[in-house]
Structure 1
Amino acid sequence: MKKVIAMVMTSFWLTFFLIGCSNNKETEESTITFAAAASLKNCMDDKLIPMFKQQYSDIKIQTTYDSSGKLQTQIEEGAPIDIFMSAAMKQMTALDEKGLIVKDSIVQLLENKIVLIVSQKNTKGISAFEDILKADKIAIGDPSSVPVGQYAKETLTNIKIWNEVIAKASLGTNVTEVLNWVAEGSADAGIVYSTDAVSNKKVKTVAEAPEGSVSKVIYPLGIVKATRNEVAAKKFVEFLKTDEANKVFESYGFKKNK
């Protein structure tokens, strides 16, 4: 009889242990890495990721922010990135053409604007894009790898002052660096996204890129094919597409792409 009881108890505890292991597995935290253009850092870190975490406590989001060109290169070299959000279609398209993005996962999510900024103490009389030549020191993103620099070059080329500007320009590695140079007074004027301009009280926007001078600034979002957690990645992407997330993007100056 004692043997029977012992066998029953052993079976009970074994079942309890297996159920416990199963439950732990189900609630185990997933981790995904989100690589995004530097201009997205504030809205993501301050609002959107905490909001997502409230809905999906079992998914941890690791972030890395830099120029879209640098992030593209990292993905091409096999960096463990699950989701990519760039500040231009160029980088996303290049990755997609190489088969590095999950098929049909790309969403052209947001739109931004290109603006000319000066410090709040500006005394150069700069009030239009053509006035940028009045600046002794100019800050723009490096057109070879930084989308905001590519947009700046396109704008300045179309208004026929690119050669004069590049002769006195410092090239930033990402849009945040360009913004900080102007804010700190290292540059008299710079070209950034409108969302960056409103994030720093030490600078002011004096002009938007002239109509027809620059391509539409689109922020695409896509899942990297090498992801090891596509299910969790899809949940984050779907969250960023919601009306709730869009309200946050709009509060930071972005517009939903239509």
Structure 2
Amino acid sequence: MQRKLIILFLGLVLALFAGCSNTPGQEQDTTELTISAASSLTDAMKEIKTTYESQNKDVTLTFNFAGSGKLAQQIQQGAPLDVFLSANQKWMDKLEKQQFILKETRFSFTGNSLVLITKQNRHFDFSSIQSIQLSDEEQLALGDPASVPGGMYTKQALQSINKWEDLKAQMVYARDVRQVLTYVESGNVALGFVYASDALISDRVKIISQVDQSLHQSIIYPAAVLTASANTKEAKAFLDYLKTEEAQEILESYGFEKKQP
């Protein structure tokens, strides 16, 4: 009997010790925020993730990067997300109209510009998009204007200078601006339209021309908390962080424009 009591006592002590030292138990108190963000934000958001998590030990950021149109469609289909960071106002407007976002949390957190790029070792005689000339074998890549904001801005710019129809037969549509960058880096296409922030991260491409911003709608990135979020408080706190000087400086270092909400 005494032996059984001793064994029972030791078992309780070991169980208590295991419970006190169980680090996985701490993970249960961690909130995971799932954030859908435009693909052009990939590198900047990876650094923001590291910085934010180091300051907020109880929050983990998980990012889903893709073209803004694709992300908006996922939200419309009920994807379990907390935050949406779009590369244009159009898709955020649609989600707001359909009540997929909390309107009061919406704000514009950064901006960008459009550039024409080519592979580092290629040479073209023109220096502006008004003078673009391609041989029959050469192609021009851009995001699909129907779903990718970068492609939409490109179409607006080329239509403004009456170049859209002239170049249409040689266009290759990409699922997002990062795919455009890959096409140009690999040499599969001669030219591509990407954001300045995308051109900045690659040493395999060079900028031929900055696109005059008067030729297209302003490139503004809005953010908002989703109505379906189960972590509204933490999601709002993350958006507040995007407004800080620290976050704005990170975005600027990746080629984005500082924005005052």
TM-score (norm 2): 0.87
Q: What is the one-letter code of the residue matched to 1:76?
A: Q
> After the TM superposition, which parts of structure 1 deviate over 4 Å for at least 4 consecutive aligned residues?
24-27
Q: Deviations over 1:184-208 (max 9, x none)?
A: 1011111110000111111111111
Residue 25 of structure 1 deviates from its aligned partner by 8.0
1:38 — aligned with what?
39
Contact 2:116 2:208 in 1 (8 A): yes
Name the CA distance, whole Å, in 2 between partners of 1:31 and 1:182: 36
Residue 257 of structure 1 deviates from its aligned partner by 2.8
1:240 — aligned with what?
242
Q: What is the one-letter code of the residue matched to 1:240?
A: L
Q: What is the one-letter code of the residue matched to 1:180?
A: T
1:182 — aligned with what?
184
Contact 1:84 1:224 in 2 (8 A): yes
Residue 165 of structure 1 deviates from its aligned partner by 1.5
Name the CA distance, whole Å, in 2 between partners of 1:177 and 1:130: 24
2:78 — aligned with what?
78
TM-score (norm 1): 0.88
Name the CA distance, whole Å, in 1 between partners of 2:131 and 2:199: 18
Name the CA distance, whole Å, in 2 between partners of 1:87 and 1:186: 25
1:133-152 alignment, distance < 5 Å: 133-134=133-134, 136-152=138-154
2:54 — aligned with what?
54
Instruction: Quickly say closer, same or farther: Cα 1:234–1:211, change in 2 above 3 A.
Output: closer
Name the CA distance, whole Å, in 2 between partners of 1:220 and 1:141: 19
Name the CA distance, whole Å, in 1 between partners of 2:120 and 2:191: 11
Which of 152, 155, 176 is the equivalent residue of 1:153? 155
2:87 — aligned with what?
87
Q: What is the one-letter code of the residue matched to 2:36?
A: A
Q: What is the one-letter code of the residue matched to 2:247?
A: A
Contact 2:113 2:213 in 1 (8 A): no
Residue 210 of structure 1 deviates from its aligned partner by 2.4
Name the CA distance, whole Å, in 1 between partners of 2:218 and 2:242: 21
Name the CA distance, whole Å, in 2 between partners of 1:41 and 1:67: 11
**SS of residue in 2 equivalent to 1:104:** helix
Q: What residue ranges of structure 1 are gaps of 5+ in the alignment?
A: 1-15
Name the CA distance, whole Å, in 1 between partners of 2:168 and 2:224: 33
Contact 2:38 2:65 in 1 (8 A): yes
Residue 211 of structure 1 deviates from its aligned partner by 4.6
Contact 2:103 2:224 in 1 (8 A): no
